[in-house]
Amino acid sequence: MSVQLLPAAGRTAVPWKNGGGVTREILVRPEGADMSGFAWRVSLADVRADGPFSAFAGVDRILTMVEGAGMDLTVGDARRLVDTRYVPQGFPGGLPTGCRLLGGPVVNLNVMWNRGGSVAPGVEVLLPGDGVAVPAGPAVLVVALGSSAELAGLSLGCYDAALLSAQPATLRGAGPVAVIRVDA
């Protein structure tokens, strides 16, 4: 089993593709890929104002609100209310998406992947308590969304992440944790 710690403290805020906000990349494959060349990408985005999301043709995304009161999204012609934390919401990244904040800024966990690739990540948010099994897979990315968590001997603070490969592990924590199945 291998576990790689990805601390939140080392992430740099970079402007969104459309310049409307900032994002902090947790992990991308292939490593070092830019916004036009990733197979998949996981990040935390700060949404501070109403406005459009960046468009990503040929990309699907799963958005999970982790801080804030919520957003009223328009994805294509459909309206989607995102007003509950920790509920993954999937939608095509190429559709025009507009956002109206419901009560101030929000932070979203974003998982995006190229539709033409071989991977379609899954996102699950767990409330680990005393211990939850994280299944084995080619790779599993765990992101602490609340206070602290522990995975395979690593202590994770809020927004720290760990990339786990090859074997299952037990997750313990005091707050919600995102478990994202990815292709290493």
pLDDT digits (tens, 9 = 90+) for 70-123: 999 999 999 999 999 999 999 999 999 999 999 999 999 999 999 877 667 889
Q: What gap in Å lies between CA 82 and CA 69, rounded to an integer?
A: 9
Query: What b-and-e string marks burial along 136-146, b requiring 16 or more CB atoms within 10 Å of the CB?
Result: ebebbbbbbbb
pLDDT digits (tens, 9 = 90+) for 153-184: 889 999 999 998 877 788 887 789 999 988 65
Q: Which residues contact 30 (CB under 8 A, 6 or more apart)?
A: 37, 38, 39
Q: What gap in Å lies between CA 140 and CA 184, rounded to an integer?
A: 8
Torsion of CA 131, 133, 139, 141, to 10 degrees: -30
Q: What gap in Å lies between CA 15 and CA 7, rounded to an integer?
A: 20
- In the chain the domains, ranked by start, together with CATH numbers, are 12-114 (2.60.120.10), 122-182 (no CATH)
Predicted local distance difference test score (pLDDT) of residue 34: 81
Predicted local distance difference test score (pLDDT) of residue 131: 73
Q: What gap in Å lies between CA 131 and CA 89, rounded to an integer?
A: 25
Assign residue 48 a region (left: φ > 0; alpha: ψ between -120 and 50; beta: otherwise).
alpha
pLDDT digits (tens, 9 = 90+) for 17-58: 777 789 999 999 888 888 778 889 999 999 999 999 988 999
